[in-house]
Copies of this chain bind each other. A is one copy, B any other.
């Protein structure tokens, strides 16, 4: 059968999702522990191949297995074996061949900025510390221009190989609670580094270096150098993915 799992992790101690030679990855830890649990070679495939340091509350992994363990029990059994910074949030059976990357979906990411004079040690791993005051109203306005279907080439890392840089952002909201500013973006797909470049650009808007209205021109230029810098990975969390048809 094919199994779908929701995977949460603190990305601090991992070199991202995808197996690679320079360090331990989320995918690798899941493969190893699932293989040990189920007694067969398991290879997971992920919906979002998050970068080193990026966190997740709702990434999706799928894999095929011959086990007779009920699909919904796999999450509980696997969590007994996983390190404490990776926790599966549920598992279920899906149709053979179903894959999260080949489905219409709505992905949501949050980028969190800690905006205050002093760093806060308890939030150092999941927020980007930014010392200068940010104007949240300006950030909200700038974010609104990103909503809708646009060519996001200006918000894509240089060198990324994609057929098209057109994506739809269903919502891009900016909220402040205490000292933490959260940029929440939901879209039908994201280009490489897209949310981090959006965050880096909105920080420049909040600080006054870019006018909110200028975001329209940044989109129109279709040029990475028109947008702001790529904000650091550790402020980013993959929140979840909704699919049109899954079970």
Q: Is A77 an interface residue (CB 8 A)?
A: no
A89 with B75: CB separation less than 8 A: no
Q: Is A118 an interface residue (CB 8 A)?
A: yes
In the complex, chain B residues whose CB is within 8 Å of the CB of A118: 8, 75, 79, 87-90
Nearest B-chain residue to A237, judged by Cβ: B122
Q: Is A10 an interface residue (CB 8 A)?
A: yes
Nearest B-chain residue to A85, judged by Cβ: B121
Total interface residues on A, using CB and 8 Å? 24
B121 with A10: CB separation less than 8 A: yes
A55 with B85: CB separation less than 8 A: no
Cβ 8 A contact of A126, one of B75, B90, B122: B122
**Interface of chain A, helix or strand or loop or mixed?**
mixed
CA A9 to CA B122, docked complex, whole Å: 7
In the complex, chain B residues whose CB is within 8 Å of the CB of A183: none
CA A227 to CA B87, docked complex, whole Å: 32
Q: Is A181 an interface residue (CB 8 A)?
A: no
Nearest B-chain residue to A118, judged by Cβ: B89
12 chain-A/chain-B pairs, Cβ below 8 angstroms: A8-B118, A8-B122, A10-B122, A55-B121, A55-B122, A84-B119, A85-B121, A87-B118, A87-B119, A87-B120, A88-B118, A122-B126
In the A-B complex, the 6 residue pairs with the smallest Cβ-Cβ separation, listed nearest first, are: A10-B121, A87-B119, A85-B121, A89-B118, A10-B122, A87-B121
